[in-house]
Amino acid sequence: MRASLDAVRFAFQPLYSLHTGGVVALEALARPSKGSAHELLDLARRERRLVEVDVALAANAVRCEAEHQTLLPLHLNLTAYSAAAPDAALDPLLDSLARIGRRPREVVLEIGPPFAQIWPEQLLAGMHRLNRLGFRLALDGLGRGDLPLTLLSSAPVDMVKLDRSVLHRLPGDLSAAAVVESLLHFTARTHTRLVATGLESEAQLLAARKLGVRIAQGNLFTPAGEGLDWTGVITAATPDADDRVTPGPLAAPRVRDFLRPASTLPHTATCEDVRAELADADGPSGIVGVDEDNRPQWSIDRTRFLSSMAGPYGHALHAKRPADRLADPPHVINANAGALELLELVTDADWARTGDDVVVVDDDGCCLGVVLVTEVVRGVAEAKIEEAAALSPLTRLPGSDTMARDVDRRAACREPFVVAWLDVDSFKSVNDTVGFAAGDDLIRALGRTLTDLAGRLKRMTVSHVGGDDFLIACDVDEIATVAGALLDTPWSAEGRPVTVSLATLVCASTSIGSYREASKLLAPLKARAKQVSGSSWVLGRPGSERVEVLRGNGRNPLFEPHGPITATA
């Protein structure tokens, strides 16, 4: 068995935020050299070593992931047997975390089946112990395993993972959609999160997003059997662009991303009508009074209203009177507004109402639902954390994912645009002669210049893809300004003159299909730019072998360096 454990590899499958498109965590998936992880655990169970092997796999996954320092939350799979085991059983996992400097709160333990063979009280006690150690918990396999509803409702978890056996029936199966909706309602009420697993088609992804799912994973993002397969080297293949769905744009979430059904009553309702609605054991956090056209007229907060009704003579004073006497003007916001706008709306209002539901309306002012301020705060915080994690520590510029999304969007919209690759000539010799610190200063200076350009040119996107390499996408009429700013600047490192190379690809409205295609076409252009002495600028077009040298020694004298560049359809 020890030899079998040593031969286990690990794939690390990403969990994506469907709000921002960013990776929010990695799940470690055991890949034995023979058979499957389930077969390995089944063998361990027959040998009465299930907990030992289960925890050893988790500990090995921690050590494997540590070699790559992703800094993302790590999800580890444990059976319910291991979760219910005595504290000492988890020592190998705790030792691995201590050795690499990871804290338990940076780890999510996904507790999976079988559940039925363990006393619920024993399992709950074990899960509470794991919580006290600092671990965050998730229940895995909902919809496939034997997870009882009593455990679902009482377990101290932050996350519930819905199995693909339900999700694969989306979008056409109404009963599957109803199951997802009910679970989203449950997780919203219990302040947990629902993860859609096993997504394999764009239709499933779109259906899940429309229903309100916020986190997803599956072969749609990383084909089956691939992923980050780490045993000292990264061996995973990257899916072709045509087979890959890029998650939503990396942007601040919008109000409609947090939309929940509103509890409404006619604006003529009485206080007794409201009390009956709120007093229900599953009552809402607030009521919205709407007119005949479904436009919000007033808003009632559950806590303040019930306090008024419960006071001395409260019921006698208010019961038969119009509800608007205990109501407030509604906080109203358009569904397409940004989440930050919503937070500004709430903080500019009465501080006593910062926790009130905010009524979401369409362009005609009709009520679409409500959003909870606490959920928006958490969503914005997650988006900011994901955005910060993607930035280069040197330049504070985003990485290649941002550029991929922008180029794919421009290509899909059939826009004419330019994508460019900038790098420093002989950058290694800069580090070798004047030191790494001087090299870092040079990269920061380039980053600042590109950031300033992006601030002036509203259609320009820039990313720092590593080392001395930067990618740029902009409109065709912006590239001359970009090139002038980059090539006319006398770059230097510790007084040593430095030159740069700029390779540009002018893409007509139908000439390119994806970021991957653009990157392939840019590679030979960059090689050509490197052949030109001095700071250089070369330009090519998809489908043409002609390369125009616009700047640098040996440029085409017939081409005006700063003349207009046009792209035709």
List, run by run, the mean pLDDT of 10-residue segments along the chain (569 residues): 70 81 83 85 88 93 81 88 91 90 87 87 93 91 85 91 89 88 87 89 86 86 48 31 37 72 91 85 79 94 84 76 90 81 64 77 90 75 60 78 84 86 91 90 92 88 90 93 92 92 89 88 93 92 91 52 43
User: 67: helix, coil or strand?
Assistant: coil
Q: Alpha helices, DSSP H only, in 134-173?
A: 149-154, 164-167
Residues 110 and 137 in one domain: yes
Contact between 240 and 396 under an 8 Å Cβ cutoff? The reply is: no
Stated as kind and residue range, the H or E segment containing 289 is: strand 286-290
| Helix, coil or strand: residue 73 | coil
Residue 252 lies in a domain: no
Sort 510 into a burial class: Cβ within 10 Å, 0-12 / 13-18 / 19+. Answer: exposed
Instruction: Give 88's DSSP letter.
Output: G
Q: Which domain holds residue 323?
A: 257-379
CATH of residue 536's domain is 3.30.70.270
101 Cβ contact partners less than 8 Å away, ≥ 6 residues apart:
none
**At which of 197, 212, 247 does a domain end?**
247
Q: Is 311 in the same domain as 459?
A: no
Q: Report whether 502 contacts 515 (CB < 8 A).
A: no
Whether the CB-CB separation of 93 and 54 falls below 8 Å is answered with no
Dihedral (Cα; 436, 441, 445, 451), 10-degree rounding: 80
Q: Is 6 part of any domain?
A: yes
DSSP 8-state secondary structure symbol assigned to residue 56: H
Write the CB contacts of 534 (distance below 8 Å, at least 6 apart in sequence).
499, 551, 552, 553
Tell me: do 418 and 277 sit in the same domain. no
Report, in this order, helix, strand and coil percent for the chain, each rounded to 5: 40, 25, 35
What is the residue whose two structure tokens read 């691995």? 96
Amino acid identity, residue 128?
Answer: H
Does residue 495 sit in the same domain as residue 523? yes
Q: Which helix (H) or strand (E) holds 483?
A: helix 479-487
Give the DSSP H/E element, type plus range, for residue 358. Answer: strand 358-361
Q: Give the whole-angstrom CA distance, residue 462 versus residue 453.
A: 9
Count of beta carbons in the 10 Å neighbourhood of residue 178: 11
DSSP character at residue 139: E
Tokens for 21, please give them.
Answer: 């498109």
Indicate whether 290 and 400 sit together in one domain: no
pTM for this prediction: 0.46
Helix (H) or strand (E) holding 328: none
**What pLDDT shows up at residue 491?**
93
For β-strands 492-493 and 496-497, DSSP reports them as antiparallel
Neighbouring C-beta atoms of residue 91, cutoff 10 Å: 11
Q: Are residues 368 and 408 in the same domain?
A: no
CA neighbor of 402 nearest in space, from 439, 450, 456, 445:
450
- 473, 535, 483, 532: which is closest to 506 by C-alpha? 473
pLDDT score, position 536: 94
CA atoms of 212 and 476, how far apart (whole Å): 38
**CA-to-CA distance for 31 and 51, rounded, in angstroms?**
18
- pLDDT for res 233: 28
Boundary of a domain, candidates 327, 349, 379: 379
What tokens were used for 279? 């007093």
Look at residue 262 in the predicted model and tell me its pLDDT. Answer: 86
Domain count, the chain: 3
Residue 384 lies in a domain: no
DSSP 200-242: -SHHHHHHHHHHT--EE-STTTS-TT-SEEESSSB-PPPPPGG
The CATH number linked to 278 is 3.10.580.10
Instruction: Tell whether 566 is covered by a domain.
Output: no
Q: Which residues pair with 161 in a beta bridge?
A: 195
Q: Whose structure tokens read 């009632």?
A: 300
Q: How far apart are CA 301 and CA 316, in angstroms?
A: 20
**Tokens, residue 557:** 């004298």
**At 206, which CATH number?**
3.20.20.450
Q: What does R_g of the chain's alpha carbons equal in angstroms? A: 28
What pLDDT is recorded for position 104?
87
* Dist. CA 200–CA 163, nearest whole Å: 12
Residues 454 and 523 in one domain: yes
Are 486 and 541 members of one domain? Answer: yes
Categorise residue 35: left if φ over 0, alpha if ψ from -120 to 50, beta otherwise: left
- Please indicate, yes or no, if residue 10 is contained in any of the structural domains: yes
Would you state the pLDDT for residue 21? 67
Identity at 54, one-letter amino acid code: D
Same domain, 200 and 107: yes
Residue 564, in any domain of the structure: no
Residue 142 lies in a domain: yes
Distances (CA, A) of 456 to 219, 450, 461, 480, 489: 40, 10, 11, 14, 17
Same domain, 13 and 41: yes
Q: Is residue 138 located within the same domain as residue 230? A: yes
Q: Which two tokens stand for residue 138?
A: 């998730």
User: By the 8 A CB rule, do 166 and 186 touch?
Assistant: no
Structure tokens at 168: 């694969």
- Give the closest residue to 258 by CA, choosing from 107, 136, 359: 359
State whether 114 and 232 are in the same domain: yes
Residue 359 forms part of a structural domain:
yes
The residue with tokens 């395993």 is 145
CA torsion sign, 237 to 243 to 249 to 254?
negative
Q: What is the predicted pLDDT for the residue at 247?
A: 37
Domain boundary among 208, 226, 247: 247
Give the integer Cα–Cα distance in Å for 462 and 420: 9
- In whole angstroms, how far apart are CA 567 and each of 6, 322, 478, 542? 57, 65, 12, 11
